[in-house]
A and B are shown apart, each in its own frame.
Chain A
């Protein structure tokens, strides 16, 4: 067993999306920053810091859909170094709206084909669970904050039972 006083190492990664859940995460920090600062090791959270470390995570939060072969490889790597992986927001959980081009008609697909090809994007945009095993999902566009906080509370209880608090819903 690892020592129980270790901070929980988290990574927050955005793939193809509008990063609305990242913004909501920074808004939740307005109320939770003092608590989270002591619980979390923000190991790889590019919205917050410059020196990000990609080694091992207790929890990886994945926002956005998977749009390219590089995205697939990066996501698989993150999965391989993370104990838990949480899909965040509609694009990660269901693919859309970032996957809207999957449902284009033939004319629309023809209009965008050269751009899909030029930048080497995948033929179809994927949701996170198409590529890796997902341990928890927080749906919503942007993510539902109640479900996110419940998921975070449950994960804190798992990694740091000494800090566990009863689930809250605000």
Chain B
């Protein structure tokens, strides 16, 4: 195989096999570094969220939320309650749109044995329904993000200290109608990924930012599958940096072992915090968690789509939104930390602010870097299993692709196609 497709960004994988044993796997980001953290130095604080958003298109609104949180932490700003709600809604729009892109356009063709989502047959009722479901769910998420945040990519309304624009009644009503209309499609999606035939079970550790209250993506403490709880500010104790000379990205482990971040981690740790309506609708699905099956990350993403629909509808229908001025505070010498759950896992931003309002330095740690070592270990194990099962080498890359896609890696944050090198 030459390339892996249908992931975010550009990657390659090198697998070394000796006597039917895998001796080395290198999952490489081959995208060229764009030096966002170096470019932060000397920039004005106000420019940082829009700057860091450009790290990644599909995750951009998660980068904006993490960067705003880091900047507000440095300035000692506590956002208003309404701002918290609008930020939560921004993340629900992102989660619905991004998970739908991954599940329908990237992963679902594997389930149906197709090359592309658009290859589904409109003349077959089931496939016709899925085609329309996919684009309608994506559109509903896109509409919500656009209403609340201005755009679903590189949003303009969220900023340090609040929002620059507020949703109007007509827009809210339309968003609620669109979200309610795609709820049955989300339930159909959950069924597809619950019934799909792929499984890869492995012992694994998890980490996720978990809220004290309802299931969400912005606030809370970092919890691990070992039962530990860390406040956001102690994040550095959780991440052991591993330099991979062959990759343009960084990898991380914790206590000398790899771990998993993403939807599966969130659901494994906090499924009890999901929206009551979500829990009521899919008890059998939720009984499958906690799970150590990597392919259940797809199912977990489908569940999160339903949760984000239910939660967003509740937020939009139970409160009003009024114009609020931005909260402003003077710059000071301080460090700011921002942690959010991006669709594909925990995202960390750190900024070091000067009293003159410029940035001394910063750090960004993305989910795919944290999943890197897990992915390499799993591809190695998978290839050994396939060799033992007698599969021809030519068919293996497709199996590797399916497994890697289940991790929903983002190589823009860390690629667009994957090249397998055999050695």
Contact = CB atoms under 8 A, between A and B. Distances in A.
The answer to whether A and B come from one shared complex is: yes
Given A100-B35, A121-B32, A142-B154, A46 B118 contact: no
Interface of A: 14, 16-24, 26-27, 29-31, 33, 37, 42, 46-52, 67-68, 71, 97-98, 100-101, 104-105, 108, 111-112, 115-116, 118-119, 121, 141-142
A30 B185 CA distance: 15
Interface in B1-36: 3-6, 8-10, 31-36
Contact of A46 (B5, B51, B398): B5
A20 B54 CA distance: 8
7 contacts: A19-B57, A20-B154, A21-B57, A24-B57, A31-B139, A48-B116, A118-B245
Given A19-B56, A33-B135, A108-B41, A48 B118 contact: yes
A50 B6 contact: yes
B118 A33 contact: yes
Nearest to A108: B38
A93 B270 CA distance: 44
Query: Main secondary structure on chain B at its contact with chain A?
Result: loop
What are the 8 closest A-B residue pairs judged by CB atoms, nearest first? A20-B57, A49-B116, A67-B32, A30-B139, A19-B57, A23-B57, A50-B5, A18-B57
B278 to A, nearest CB: 24
A100 B34 contact: yes
B221 interface: no
Contact of B32 (A33, A51, A104, A119): A119
B247 to A, nearest CB: 10
B105 interface: yes
Given A116-B33, A121-B33, 12 more contacts: A18-B34, A19-B58, A20-B154, A23-B57, A27-B138, A50-B116, A67-B32, A97-B39, A101-B39, A108-B38, A119-B248, A141-B154
A20 B153 CA distance: 7
Interface of B: 3-6, 8-10, 31-36, 38-39, 41-42, 51, 54-58, 60, 97, 101, 105, 109, 115-119, 131, 135-136, 138-139, 142, 151-154, 245, 248, 398, 401, 412, 416-417
Nearest to A105: B42
B249 to A, nearest CB: 11
A20 B60 contact: yes
A28 B5 CA distance: 20
Contact of A27 (B9, B31, B51, B142): B142
B168 to A, nearest CB: 19
Contacts of B58: 19-20, 23
Contacts of B51: 97
Given A37-B118, A48-B6, A18 B33 contact: no
Nearest to B57: A20
Contacts of A23: 57-58, 101, 152-153
Contacts of A121: 32-33
B153 A42 contact: no
A101 B38 CA distance: 9
A33 B33 CA distance: 33
B145 to A, nearest CB: 10
B51, B54, B115 — which one has the most chain A CB atoms within 10 A of its CB?
B54
B148 to A, nearest CB: 16
Contact of A48 (B9, B97, B105, B135): B105
B51, B55, B105 — which one has the most chain A CB atoms within 10 A of its CB?
B105
Nearest to A21: B57
Contacts of B136: 30
B417 A51 contact: no
Given A14-B416, A37-B118, A19 B39 contact: no
Given A23-B58, A100-B39, A52 B34 contact: no
A30, A97, A98 — which one has the most chain B CB atoms within 10 A of its CB?
A30
B165 to A, nearest CB: 19
A124 to B, nearest CB: 12
Contacts of B139: 27, 30-31
Contact of B135 (A16, A30, A119): A30
Given A97-B54, A142-B57, A42 B116 contact: yes
Contacts of B4: 50
Contacts of A42: 116, 118
A41 B41 CA distance: 45
